[in-house]
Amino acid sequence: MIIQTPEAVMFWILAPLSVIAALGMLLVKKAVHSALLLAWVMITLAIFYIAQEALFLGIVQIVVYTGAVMMLFLFILMLVGVDASDSLKETIPGLRPIAITAAIGFGGLLTALIGRATLGRDAVGLADANAAGNVQGLAALLFSDYVWPFEVISALLITAAMGAMVLAHHQRTVARPSQRQSSIARFRSGSLSTAAGLPGPGVFARHNAVDVPALLPDGTPAPTSISATLKARGDMLESGQFQLDVVDTTVAEEK
């Protein structure tokens, strides 16, 4: 069976793109970019499934993988946040060359194996199997020959859901402090500067975004007025540029 030209064109356009995206997944620094590239690889795979007469699997691939699984990944990424593990520095010396050599050997073996094992064998195609429709054919198989694996896999799904709930459940070992208790603790902590709460960000009347530290009476920026996450990410602006001695008077002149 020789694949018709439109599918061949699609394959030779999308296959290199998916390989590039998969390689990019290894090379980009931020985990969010990796997730986006993986989503692209999954979409190309869905297109390949549909092109290979697996319409149901193609739709399921988009709904389950790019929909649910990638959303879960992004959700966890936002929950965990960015930290030092995003860096590409290798911690075990000499690991990377060994890994790449082993992978090239493995890939070569796999490719050579496919090349040798499939020589002289002709593909049949799914025209007969899909005669009554792909979904109908799959359903007939799933609820006759594969009904026992189907039941087992439903048990697996329920177990996984329970396991996730058990693992993610967080039991407090000490009682949550009440508002009164935390207020007393603030006043007894030694310094009274934070007794009324941390200062809010922003320079009044000039720039009140959350990434601009507030100015203290002596003109220095107050570091406690900025979220620690913004500071760690390096997204903090200089509040010096919003000080009053650089007042821009162009508006007044226009009048």
Q: Would you count residue 86 as binding other proteins (CB under 8 A)?
A: yes
Distance in Å, CB of 254 to other proteins, minimum: 52
CA gap 60, 46 in Å, rounded: 8
Cα–Cα nearest to 53, from 167, 165, 134? 134
Tell me whether residue 148 is exposed, middle or buried, using C-beta atoms within 10 angstroms of its C-beta: 0 to 12, 13 to 18, 19 or more.
exposed
Only one of the segments 95-103, 180-188, 196-204, 235-243 lies at the binding site for other proteins (rule: CB under 8 A); that segment is 95-103
Q: Which residue among 13, 17, 95, 244 contacts other proteins (CB under 8 A)?
A: 95
CA gap 89, 179 in Å, rounded: 44
Whole-angstrom CA distances from 32 to 16, 23, 37, 76 are 22, 15, 9, 10
Only one of the segments 110-118, 206-214, 228-236, 238-246 lies at the binding site for other proteins (rule: CB under 8 A); that segment is 110-118
Beta strands in the chain (DSSP E): 214-215, 221-222
Q: In the window 33-52, what residues touch other proteins (CB under 8 A)? A: 34-35, 38, 41-42, 45, 48-49, 52
Site string for other proteins, 160-179 (x = CB under 8 A): xx-xx--xx-x---------
Q: Give the ranges where 198-242 is alpha helix by DSSP (H).
A: 228-233
Q: Would you count residue 198 as binding other proteins (CB under 8 A)?
A: no
Distance in Å, CB of 191 to other proteins, minimum: 25
Q: Would you count residue 110 as binding other proteins (CB under 8 A)?
A: yes
Q: Would you count residue 133 as binding other proteins (CB under 8 A)?
A: no
Q: Would you count residue 23 as binding other proteins (CB under 8 A)?
A: yes
Q: Across-strand partners of 222?
A: 214
CA gap 222, 201 in Å, rounded: 8
Q: Which residue among 13, 17, 131, 157 contacts other proteins (CB under 8 A)?
A: 157
Measured from the CB atom, the residue of 5 and 249 that comes closer to other proteins is 5
| Number of residues near other proteins (by CB under 8 A) | 87
The Cα diameter of the chain in Å comes to 86
Q: Would you count residue 242 as binding other proteins (CB under 8 A)?
A: no
What tokens were used for 3?
């694949």
Q: Which residue among 17, 126, 195, 198 contacts other proteins (CB under 8 A)?
A: 126
